[in-house]
């Protein structure tokens, strides 16, 4: 990663555009861009990332495929990607961000970067470097000698899960993922914690859910439903988002303890039995 890039304001802009919690914002954005640049180096070394479908780009950056439209738009809005009439999408300042090995790969293809920049020839053998220097001196700069045809990616419909209702019949209007399992978990949470309010379910809870794999999501839903069935007292269970972040969801449910009979209740029962 280029010096200064980890703390660049565009990293913060990307994280905020996708509602990443503040404490995860920079580490997550840094990791996302590092994955994007590695992916570009492998499959679009000239910087013409638009040759690859949006869902494949999104998957490579470990973001849900169903949200590829939102994810790509966030990359464009934060100026990490740029729209292109010819290439659909290009990586901003790719010749500056990519490694020397990418320059070498482009040079050996006798190609140019998408902005017309010729690759650096450092690290090449002397004879090979001389041949390529002669080639680039004789060849006018041009964006990508033989670009691949961009792949059209239709807009992905975003599912809208059912809105959960708590035990009091009140509709909860919380932000949702397009992941149906998240909706199922929130419905169970609204039943287990009937007094939840919107600040309890801020974006950090959503973000943690995104990091779970299929088995973890299924187990988290199953464990929460088991707590409901066991009658576990929700007052003694960490509330969201700490319930997911701290691994509390992995703990087996506790059986509800029988309530102790008060002195007045014992006297009343004894009188009725007589």
Q: Can you read off the two tokens belonging to residue 202?
A: 């801020």
Per DSSP, the three-state class of 171 is: strand
Distance CA 14, CA 33 (A): 10
Provide the token pair at 207: 């973000």
How far apart, in whole angstroms, are the C-alpha atoms of residue 102 and residue 43?
A: 11
Q: Which pLDDT score, from 0 to 100, does residue 263 have?
A: 64
Q: In terms of Cα–Cα distance, which of 44, 42, 80, 36 is closest to 60? A: 36
Q: What's the mean pLDDT in 192-214? A: 68
Instruction: State mean pLDDT over 242-246.
Output: 78
pLDDT at 252 over 90: no
Average pLDDT over residues 66-94: 92
State the pTM of this model.
Answer: 0.54
User: Is the pLDDT assigned to residue 204 strictly greater than 90?
Assistant: no
Tell me: pLDDT of 197 over 70: no
Question: What pLDDT was estimated at residue 38?
Answer: 92
Of the pLDDT bands very low, low, confident and very high (cuts 50, 70, 90), residue 198 is low
Residue 189 has pLDDT above 60, yes or no: yes
Check residue 261 and give its pLDDT: 59
Interatomic CA distance for residues 50 and 159, integer angstroms: 25
Say what the pLDDT of residue 200 is: 57
**Cα–chain center distance at 70:** 11
CA 165-202-71 angle, 5° bins: 105
Q: C-alpha dihedral over 255, 259, 260, 265, to 10 degrees?
A: -160
Taken in order 83, 88, 93, 97, the sign of the CA dihedral is: positive
Domain boundaries, the chain: 9-138, 159-274
Q: What is the DSSP annotation of 53-92? A: -HHHHHHHTT--GGGHHHHHHHHHHTTSEEEETTTEEEET
pLDDT tens per residue, range 163-180: 444 444 433 333 444 456
């Amino acid at each position: 990663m280029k010096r200064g890039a980890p703390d660049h304001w565009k990293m913060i802009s990307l994280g905020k555009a996708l509602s990443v919690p503040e404490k995860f914002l920079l580490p997550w954005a840094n990791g996302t861009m590092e994955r994007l640049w590695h992916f570009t180096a492998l499959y679009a070394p000239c910087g013409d990332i638009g040759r690859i479908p949006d869902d494949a780009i999104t998957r490579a950056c470990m973001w849900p495929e169903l949200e590829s439209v939102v994810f790509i738009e966030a990359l464009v809005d934060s100026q990490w990607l740029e729209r292109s009439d010819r290439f659909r999408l290009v990586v901003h300042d790719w010749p500056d961000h990519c490694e020397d090995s990418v320059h070498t790969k482009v040079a050996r293809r006798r190609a140019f970067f998408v902005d017309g920049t010729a690759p650096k020839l450092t690290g090449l053998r002397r004879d090979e470097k001389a041949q390529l220097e002669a080639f680039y001196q004789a060849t006018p700069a041009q964006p990508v000698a033989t670009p691949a045809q961009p792949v059209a990616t239709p807009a992905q419909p975003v599912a809208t899960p059912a809105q959960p209702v708590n035990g009091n019949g009140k509709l909860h209007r919380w932000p949702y993922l397009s992941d149906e399992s998240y909706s199922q978990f929130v419905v169970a949470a609204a039943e287990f914690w009937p007094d939840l309010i919107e600040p309890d379910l801020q974006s950090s809870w959503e973000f943690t859910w995104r990091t779970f794999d299929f088995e973890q999501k299924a187990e988290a839903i199953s464990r929460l439903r088991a707590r409901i069935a066991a009658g576990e007292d929700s007052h003694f269970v960490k509330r969201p988002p700490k319930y997911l972040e701290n691994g509390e969801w992995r703990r087996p449910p506790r059986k509800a303890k029988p309530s102790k009979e008060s002195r007045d209740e014992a006297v009343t029962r004894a009188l009725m039995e007589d």
